[in-house]
Structure 1
């Protein structure tokens, strides 16, 4: 399904595009993007929306509101709602559905604590989840999928299975681009970027949904806490939610990216089987079946 020998090698061009990112002030650039994408001046935001929609071939027919004038600013358009029925949630309660529109970056099994990023690159579950080895232990030898959201995609993130929110972990970091050329060239990319980890209890045990920030991703939001980033903070922050009884149904919105990025899903050992037809670089849609819980999928 994701044999490392079949993964694309990094090219010289990938490195030439990635190396300048190390010197950039990631957070300063992203804060400027935050301000620009919330300008409400009609001529400016309408022009920006039209340019972006044409540049990235946005499918207006899927949107609930289909004209630039319908949006208060660019970010309102970027995080647009879809019309009813645009993303049917497939299967039944045991069906694992894709949390977002995008492309599969990698999918497969976690090797002890190691998660494949790209050919020649991996990171650990422990560092991804903020450095707590006990928290990571629930996912050792489990299953993962990484979904990359491109600029043209729908940018709300939904539940792959029904779950009750246990805790969130904010992990500070840089904001490297998470485009395919950087995943092939920047070591431990997803464990270096700022991110928000949401841990849910599901019928098959623990499920982690990791929303990874990236350059120009000016904010990450959840439906229960609103805007989580910015601001950038110095250390890891853990918030507990068991007492609030926050339960979300399969397919329900759980958060959104204000500009595009990556979602990583983690499950425990033997809890989820991915569809054998899925592979790296394959396009996916929110609500599409990507696996089954409690058994191996075919």
Structure 2
């Protein structure tokens, strides 16, 4: 697969976002972005604190949020809009209403048929992070990571207009797929999907994964004892993007609906 123009655009934007301009200019860039995009900075440091636009994008909370420690409560991994959610029809899920795609294709080639089949007739949730959202992502429940797969691809926008006109957008874009197992042995996938201007998707526990790089082949990493706790910060998007969760049948009882805005730490489902 050759490099796509969307990758070049994202790399150029990434260089601009990472550049540290003289402080008066950087302060102007940061403040302008906050005002134009309507960022809510109440839980963060002031815009002038950040030495680059990317540092502002990937800002951390001053204090972690309070969330349920009940093992059965599944929390939102991010601040986002639920662009679509519901039941998987066999292994078919919705990009948005009327735009279906095959979950098996989203997961890629490094998972066995048996591993993919766990999502048949299961549950899916699509989280859209806009450019104004908090860009870090967190672990939704105590879990064990069984496998991580990096799938290079394109960088089409994942906003609502793009979702409405481009079939299989999630499948075309670069992504990182995590196969996870809960403490109760339930399995689900967490899929990080790139977007235009997303220079990097960070995965803190696997430094070998380099996104939006000159890598054309997918790669897989397996783990025996990689345990992460609910609320753990395990990386970020360097701009807005999408997270897709695909859960096995009868694992999640959803407490959210399509079109709802959610916050990291909010309980969005019960683990059955």
1:165 is displaced (CA, Å) by 1.3
Secondary structure at the residue paired with 1:96? strand
**Contact 2:34/2:47, CA 8 A, preserved across alignment:** no
Secondary structure at the residue paired with 1:37? helix
2:241 match? 261
1:289 is displaced (CA, Å) by 0.8
The verdict on how the C-alpha distance between 1:44 and 1:32 changes in structure 2, with shifts beyond 3 A counting, is farther
- What TM-score do you get using the length of structure 2 for normalisation? 0.92
2:86 match? 108
**Aligned equivalent of 2:63, options 63, 66, 84:** 84
List structure 1 segments (4+ residues) > 6 angstroms apart after TM superposition. none
Number of residue pairs the alignment of both structures matches? 264
1:197 lines up with 2:177 in the alignment = yes
Distance 1:99 1:201 in 2: 16
2:220 match? 238
Structure 1, residues 155-191: CA drift from partner, whole Å, max 9, x if none? 1101111111111111121111000111111101111
1:165 lines up with 2:156 in the alignment = no
**Aligned equivalent of 2:50, options 53, 58, 71:** 71
Structure 1, residues 30-55: CA drift from partner, whole Å, max 9, x if none? 00011001111223322211111001
Secondary structure at the residue paired with 2:18? coil
1:176 lines up with 2:156 in the alignment = yes
The verdict on how the C-alpha distance between 1:290 and 1:38 changes in structure 2, with shifts beyond 3 A counting, is same
The verdict on how the C-alpha distance between 1:98 and 1:73 changes in structure 2, with shifts beyond 3 A counting, is same
1:214 match? 195
**Contact 1:169/1:236, CA 8 A, preserved across alignment:** yes
Distance 2:172 2:92 in 1: 15
Residue ranges of structure 1 left out of the alignment (5+ in a row): 1-23
**Contact 2:198/2:240, CA 8 A, preserved across alignment:** yes
Alignment RMSD (CA, Å): 1.5
Distance 1:217 1:46 in 2: 22
Distance 2:76 2:117 in 1: 24
Distance 1:232 1:167 in 2: 22
- What TM-score do you get using the length of structure 1 for normalisation? 0.85
Structure 1, residues 188-207: CA drift from partner, whole Å, max 9, x if none? 11111100011112124212
1:67 is displaced (CA, Å) by 3.5
